[in-house]
């Protein structure tokens, strides 16, 4: 169950997400490895710097970032 704030945000941005996804080469029926690699490279290109800044910032008590750092590995 989503929070009311998250539900409102999803609803308010739904058309923007649909528009963006329709423009991605990865969403085309003929998309292949090259399109996937380009998408993954673009995502990493903005996620890595963002994550580096987030990890360098102070975390609230009780969040335990060290327990979350490697959850996707």
Assigned domain for 65 exists:
no
Terminal C-alpha separation, the chain:
26
Assigned domain for 11 exists:
yes
Assigned domain for 27 exists:
yes
What's the pLDDT score for residue 9?
Answer: 92
Assigned domain for 71 exists:
no
Structurally, the chain folds into a number of domains equal to 1
* Chain segment 17-66, per-residue pLDDT in tens: 888 888 888 888 899 999 999 989 988 998 999 989 988 899 888 888 77
Assigned domain for 20 exists:
yes
Assigned domain for 67 exists:
no
| Residue-range definition of the domain harbouring residue 39 | 4-60
Contacts of 36 (CB under 8 A, 6+ apart): 26
Average pLDDT over residues 1-26: 87
Assigned domain for 39 exists:
yes
What's the pLDDT score for residue 1?
Answer: 60
Contacts of 59 (CB under 8 A, 6+ apart): 65
């Amino acid at each position: 169950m989503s929070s009311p704030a998250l539900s409102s945000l999803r609803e308010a941005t739904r058309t923007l997400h649909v528009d963006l996804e329709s423009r991605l080469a990865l969403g085309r029926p003929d998309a292949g490895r090259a399109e996937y690699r380009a998408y993954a490279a673009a995502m990493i290109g903005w996620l890595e710097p963002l994550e580096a800044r987030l990890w360098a910032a102070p975390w609230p008590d009780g969040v335990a970032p060290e327990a979350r750092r490697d959850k996707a590995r």
